[in-house]
Amino acid sequence: MTRSNTSAIIAVAMLLSLPLAACKDTKTLQENQQLKTQVAQLQKENGQAVNDLESMTAERDTLTKENEQLKAEIKAFKPKKSGKKTAARKHHHS
DSSP string spanning the chain?
-HHHHHHHHHHHHHHHHHHHHHHHHHHHHHHHHHHHHHHHHHHHHHHHHHHHHHHHHHHHHHHHHHHHHHHHHHHHHSPPPPSPPPPPP-PPP-
Looking at residue 82, its pLDDT comes to 63
| Choice between 32 and 19, residue whose per-residue pLDDT is larger | 32
pLDDT at residue 61 in the model: 98
Look at residue 6 in the predicted model and tell me its pLDDT.
79
Q: Which of 14-18, 24-28, 81-85 has the highest mean pLDDT?
A: 24-28
Banded model confidence at residue 85, pLDDT cuts 50, 70, 90: low
Q: Of residues 14 and 75, which shows the higher confidence score?
A: 75
